[in-house]
Amino acid sequence: MTQLALVIDLNVCVGCHACVTSCKEWNTSGWAGPMVDQNPYDASPTGTFFNRVQTFEVGTFPNTETVHFPKSCLHCEEPPCVPVCPTGASYKRPDNGVVLVDYDKCIGCKYCSWACPYGAREVDEEQKVMKKCTLCIDRITDPKLSERDRKPSCVLACPSSARLFGDVHDPDSEVSIAIRERGGYQLMPEWGTKPANHYLPRQKTQMHIDQDELTRVDNPLRKEDLTTYTGEETLDDVAW
């Protein structure tokens, strides 16, 4: 069974919000109607977003690291938001595992948002229905698009390729390999929601270099050389 998901590499995310704007642009112009904003050019702008980049600071100054943390619906394999929905508007697609909301059935009771520990669902204040990341279901299921474009718009927009998209149930997919080989993890595993989206951890990019890696103390040419040097230019001084 297919389970489409995102794998987000926190090691290369630079927090540019390109995924946020690209997501909003694509999904606000789609068939499901606009994602409405309130006071967009005024004080306290607010609105509906499927995807947000948050920033956390790790450590104490001056030894701090900034972690940019993109967060959208994690398309849980055990989605707690689905069974609580009284109308069946919230559902998980059996063919590809994407969790979706039928905007024509949603009554806007907000109960599903209470049942999501990640805060992935947001009410559209204009349409009065619950909205959430669809993994760009209209893109990824559109056979008219080329293979390259059949991806969520956040993935296509990311300038540092921090977002991977694919089937986490296929062990040979790009995302499964990334999870397996680069320590991919899930958010809040303690709730048993089994999020399909995974995150790749930050990695140390320091290198340890020993002094004898810079200066060869056991240069065999020098060891077997019988010449007595008196300060003249030798082969070691030649710039190659």
Partner 1 sequence: MHPAFSVIFLTTLIGAGQGLYLAMVTGQLYAIAQFVEAQKDQFYAIGSLVALVFLIAGLVASFFHLGRPERAWRAASKWRTSWLSREVIILPIVMALVFAYAAAHWMGWTNPLFQLGASLQVDVTLLLGIVGTLASLALFVCTAMIYAGVKFLQEWHTPLTVTNFIFFGAASGFMLAAAYSAYIGNPLVTFFGTWAVILTFVGIGSRLMHLRRNGRIKRKSTVQTAIGVRHNALVQRSQGAMGGSFNTREFFHGQSDRVVDMVRYAFLILVFPLPVLLIGAAHVTESPNLPILAFLVQFVGLMAERWSFFAEAKHPQNLYYQSVA
Annotate each residue in 102-141 with x if it binds partner 1 (CB under 8 A) or - if it does not, as one string.
---xxxxxxx-xxxxxxx-xxx-x-xxx------------
Q: Which is nearer to partner 1, 139 or 198 (CB)?
A: 198
Binding segment toward partner 1, per CB under 8 A, in 26-34, 160-168, 196-204, 229-237: 196-204
CB 113 within 8 A of CB 89: no
Q: Tell which one of 201, 216, 219, 234 touches partner 1 (CB under 8 A).
A: 201
Question: Nearest Cα to 7, choosing from 204, 137, 168, 202?
Answer: 168
By beta-carbon proximity to partner 1, the closer residue of 91 and 170 is 91
Confirm or reject binding of residue 16 to partner 1 (CB under 8 A): no
Rounded CA-CA distance 101/126 in Å is 16
> Nearest approach, Cβ of 155 to partner 1 (angstroms)?
18
Residue 171 lies near partner 1 (rule: CB under 8 A): no
Structure tokens at 167: 């089937």
- Assess 190 for contact with partner 1 (CB under 8 A): yes
| Shortest distance, position 137 Cβ to partner 1, whole Å | 21
Quote the strand ranges of the chain, DSSP E. Answer: 4-9, 37-38, 46-47, 51-58, 65-72, 90-92, 99-101, 122-123, 130-131, 163-167, 198-200
Q: What 3-state class would DSSP assign to 167?
A: strand
